[in-house]
Structures are given as structure tokens and as C-alpha cells.
């Protein structure tokens, strides 16, 4: 059983609890164990870095140091947490001065940022550590009836200097996983575009226009559902779907599933077990 330090994203502890619930259901089936990091702190959600760059480095240096203390890689299931913590890691790795300043403070808690733990998305762990062939063999309920619109979200792709797993303009990782689960993915322009989440409370009209355009293209392409590896994208595309479509004079609806839920469905778990009934748009 390969173990990982599992970073608990704020949103997965409040609005999208079904993400962690589904991972807990199937993790052992795939030979992995996500050890929850109860002592981790909010990454700053792509905001703390400009409110105070030094607190940003401290908080995320501490998050990574906590995983390092256990000798485990830090794994997240939220794109923005991934991008944010990796950005901090890059800054700490590139600046001995910043690293020393952060470590001087962390040392009093018995922690030290060394840069030994990798910061990875759950999707990457499934592909690189579990392996697509193993996943293919474990599938009990292939998603073969589904025409899926993969929605990567920004912060698993961009900035590529921080992420670097996929080609940010032509990503394939989520498509590969969905293919291993037996699903048929569609090629559409919005698969690597933005959901609008980060301006929902600051420029709501713009955010909803962004979401509506993505939803429209997926519906026009006759997708049965959208699948995303990010709970923030899910919150906009599912939770705000009705409002976004109405604002843009559009009709219809499309279910939006978390990556962790489609893995669960393919491995034979029910929608009730996975928490899919909690979505705003009926699946």
C-alpha cells in the first residue's frame, strides 16, 4: 500500500465533501492510502501570495515540511491548492534566503522545509503511481455508455513553469484516465479553459459568462457529462450552472462529476455511496 500525505482542501471540508468521501471509498482498491494532514493550513487559494508573499511562503513551507516529516509526498485533489503549494515550493527551492527565513520560524515547531517531498495532484498519482493498466484491470463498471467532456481547469495546467505535467494547450492526462475507466472523451475547445471561479465574488457577471460558455460548448457537443479534477471548477459548473445559463439566455443542463466520483463509479461504487446525490444538477 503506497502512502501519501493527503492535503485537505478547505472546499472539500465544506461544500464538496463528496470528493474526500469517494477517495476514502476506493483508495485501498487501487493500492494507495491518503493519510489526512490534520495539521495543514489553507494554502491561500491563489490570494495570499499577493497579500503577503512571506506569509504565503511560511504557510505552504509548513504544509510541505509536515509531509516531509512523515517522509511522504503531498497529494492534493484541488487544482488551485496544487498550483499554489507548488508555486510556494518553487520559490522556496529557488531562494536560500527565503528558505532560511521560513525554516528559522518553523524550527521552533520541530519542522524544516527541505524540498524532499513532491507536491502532486491525485490525477497524477493515479496515472504515474497506480498506472493506467492496473486501473483498467480494476474497472468493474466501465463508463462506456458515457460521452464525457473532460474539463481540466486552469491550475493543473498553468502556469506550466510551476505545473509541467501536461502540455497546457493540449492536455491529455485526464483523457487518458477517463479512457482507462472505459469512457469516451470528446475533444472540445473548453477542455483547457477557465471555469471563472476565482472572480465569482469580485466580478460575478464575468465569471458566470465564462462558465456559461464552457457549459454551452459541452452541451452543444452532446456530452453526457463534464468531469473535472478540481472541486472549484465543480462548484461553478455545477452549483452556479442554472444561474450562469440563465444570465446568458441558455437552456438545458449537464451533470458535472468529480474525478474521484467517476473513478468510484467505474470501480463499482454506487452514486449514493459516492455522494453524487449531493450535486446541485441532478445526475
Partner 1 sequence: MSDSTIQHHEESRDVTFRVHRFNPQVDSKPYFDDYTIRLEKGITVLRAINYIKEHVDSSLTFRAFCQAGICGSCAMRINNMSKLACTTQVWDELDKAREPGVIKVEPLRNLPHIKDLVVEMDPLVGKMQKYSNWVDSKMPEEQWGKKEFLVSEEEFLAYDKATDCILCASCVSECTILRAHKEYVSPAVLLKSYRMNVDSRDAMHDQRLAGLVQDHGVWDCTHCYRCQETCVKNIPIMDAIHGIREDAYASRGSKDTSGARHAEAFMDDIEKKGKLVEATLPIRTNGVVWTLKNLLPMAVKMVIKRRTPPPPPLVKASKGIDALRKEFKEMTSHVGKDHEKKSGE
Q: Applying CB under 8 A, which residues contact partner 1?
A: 10-11, 13-17, 38-42, 44-55, 58-59, 62, 101, 105-106, 108-109, 154-155, 158-160, 168-170, 187, 189, 193-194, 196-199, 201-207, 209-210, 213, 239-240, 243, 277-280
Distance of CA 269 to the CA centre of its chain: 21
Looking at the Cβ atoms of 30 and 64, the one nearer to partner 1 is 64
Contacts for 256 with CB less than 8 Å, ≥ 6 apart: 151, 225, 226, 227, 228, 234, 237, 238, 241, 279, 281
- Count other Cβ atoms within 10 Å, centred on residue 76: 31
Nearer to partner 1, 23 or 194 (CB): 194
CB of 56 to partner 1, least distance (A): 9
Q: How far is the CB of 242 from partner 1 (least distance, A)?
A: 8
Could you tell me which residues come within 8 angstroms of residue 254 by beta carbon, excluding any fewer than 6 positions away?
149, 215, 218, 219, 223, 224, 225, 226, 241, 281
Closer to partner 1 by Cβ: residue 59 or 181: 59
Q: How many Å from the N-terminal Cα to the C-terminal Cα in the chain?
A: 33
Q: Return the number of other C-beta atoms located less than 10 Å from residue 69's C-beta.
A: 15
Q: How far is the CB of 182 from partner 1 (least distance, A)?
A: 23
Nearer to partner 1, 139 or 250 (CB): 250
Shortest reach from residue 236's CB to partner 1, in Å:
10
Query: Which residue number, 68 or 138, has a Cβ lying nearer to partner 1?
Result: 68
Amino acid at each position: 500500500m503506497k502512502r501519501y500525505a493527503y492535503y485537505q482542501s478547505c472546499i472539500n471540508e465544506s461544500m464538496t465533501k463528496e470528493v474526500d468521501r469517494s477517495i476514502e471509498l476506493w483508495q485501498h482498491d487501487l493500492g494507495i492510502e491518503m493519510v489526512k494532514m490534520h495539521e495543514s493550513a489553507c494554502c491561500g487559494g491563489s490570494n495570499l501570495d499577493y497579500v503577503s508573499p512571506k506569509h504565503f511562503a511560511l504557510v505552504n513551507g509548513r504544509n510541505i515540511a509536515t509531509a516531509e516529516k512523515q517522509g511522504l509526498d503531498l497529494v492534493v485533489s484541488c487544482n488551485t491548492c496544487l498550483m499554489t503549494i507548488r508555486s510556494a515550493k518553487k520559490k522556496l527551492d529557488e531562494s536560500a534566503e527565503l528558505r532560511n527565513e521560513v525554516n528559522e520560524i518553523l524550527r521552533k515547531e520541530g519542522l524544516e522545509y527541505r524540498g524532499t517531498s513532491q507536491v502532486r495532484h491525485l490525477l497524477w498519482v493515479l496515472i504515474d503511481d497506480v498506472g493506467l493498466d492496473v486501473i483498467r484491470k480494476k474497472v468493474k463498471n466501465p463508463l462506456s455508455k458515457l460521452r464525457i467532456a473532460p474539463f481540466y481547469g486552469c491550475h493543473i495546467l498553468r502556469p506550466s513553469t510551476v505545473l509541467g505535467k501536461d502540455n497546457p494547450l493540449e492536455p491529455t492526462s485526464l483523457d487518458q484516465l477517463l479512457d482507462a475507466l472505459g469512457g469516451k472523451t470528446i475533444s472540445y475547445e473548453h477542455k483547457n479553459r477557465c471555469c471563472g471561479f476565482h472572480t465569482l465574488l469580485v466580478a460575478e457577471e464575468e465569471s458566470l459568462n465564462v462558465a456559461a460558455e464552457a457549459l454551452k460548448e459541452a452541451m452543444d457537443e452532446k456530452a453526457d457529462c463534464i468531469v473535472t479534477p478540481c472541486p472549484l471548477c465543480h462548484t461553478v459548473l455545477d452549483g452556479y450552472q442554472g444561474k450562469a445559463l440563465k444570465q446568458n439566455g441558455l437552456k438545458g443542463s449537464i451533470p458535472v462529476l468529480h474525478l474521484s466520483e467517476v473513478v468510484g463509479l467505474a470501480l463499482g461504487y454506487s452514486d449514493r455511496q459516492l455522494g453524487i446525490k449531493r450535486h446541485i444538477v441532478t445526475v
